[in-house]
Amino acid sequence: MSEARRGVGRGRRLPRGILPLALIAALAIAWLVPQLPFLSLGGGAESTLGDDLHVAIGSLPDQPNVIVDMDPDLGTYPEIRYATRAALADLMAVGSRVAVVSFSTEGRAIAVAEIARLRAAGAGPDRLVDLGFRSGGEAALVQLTGQPLDRDVSGATSPVLDQLQERGGGLGAFDLALVVGGGDMGPRSWIEQVEPRVPHLPVAAITPTFLLPQVQPYREAGQLVALAGTLPEAVAYGASVAGGGATSGPERVPEQPPNALAILVGMLVALAVLLESGMSGLVGGLRGASRGRRG
């Protein structure tokens, strides 16, 4: 091979690691840039995405009792955190009394953090009760359907639980079950184990996108009364709750939606890699075929 060709070949090869660093730099820049007007994750002001959950919570009776099953996965929780916090703020805004329970260890860790955040924002024991972690997965969920629910995680009563006892205690005393899924326990467990035993308890869900094929049929069949199962739906719902105007307290949505520009950059990088790989494969295949014909 001639020196000139060797030199051209060396000049084309990028330094090792430059592409990952360039990707990180691009994502960091995109993350720091404020929201651009032509980008929209939640479908814009006219979109009906996210109405599902907003309507379900808005149609609850006055001062409803809501049980929140926090069982997301630590890996996928960043995708649904905005919608989850918006849902908790929405529940506080409509005057709900919220009981939080978890059936997985990761869910419990996240529930503890969210409960601490709400308490720091001003949600007192008359609005929020911690039912703790129930081990045993679906067996524990089945047990919950038959238990009176008169004690919180520390074994004490609370105004929320006293109010539940007036309505008969147990899961039947709740007006809505909101399931935050992503881990092993999720909306499917509630529909399979709870709905046959407590049929009049409506179940709504917030799930990451990978669970959508599993939960979408339940939504279409009406077994789930509301679902925020994709990022656009979650962002649209969060935006509609944040637009309610609360600037302090547990009714405030405490964070910004995911950055649409960073997501766009990541998707364009993925498209570029897929395209480049496809074109390289196609060109290589055509070259091989032409060499074969010549040979």
Instruction: Report which secondary-structure segment, H or E, holds 132.
Output: strand 128-133
| Per CB under 8 A, 74 contacts another protein | yes
> One-letter amino acid identity for 278?
G
CB of 111 to another protein, least distance (A): 9
Instruction: Name the residue nearer to another protein (CB basis): 51 or 59.
Output: 51
| Per CB under 8 A, 271 contacts another protein | yes
| Per CB under 8 A, 237 contacts another protein | no
Tally Cβ neighbours within 10 Å of residue 131. 22
- CA proximity to 178, closest of 54, 47, 41, 48: 54
Among 63, 143, 256, 290, binds another protein (CB under 8 A): 143
| Per CB under 8 A, 288 contacts another protein | no
Stretch that binds another protein, among 10-18, 50-58, 138-146, 164-172 (CB under 8 A): 138-146
Enumerate residues 6+ apart whose C-beta is below 8 A from 64.
94, 95, 96, 97, 175, 176
> One-letter amino acid identity for 97?
R
Residue 274, token pair as written in the block: 């897929």
Cα 102–Cα 107–Cα 103 angle in degrees, nearest 5: 35
| Per CB under 8 A, 270 contacts another protein | yes
Give contact residues for another protein (rule: CB under 8 A).
20, 23, 37-41, 43-44, 47, 73-78, 108-109, 112-113, 116, 133-137, 139-140, 142-143, 146, 153, 196-197, 212-214, 216-217, 230, 232, 260, 263-264, 266-267, 270-271, 273-275, 277-278, 280-281, 285
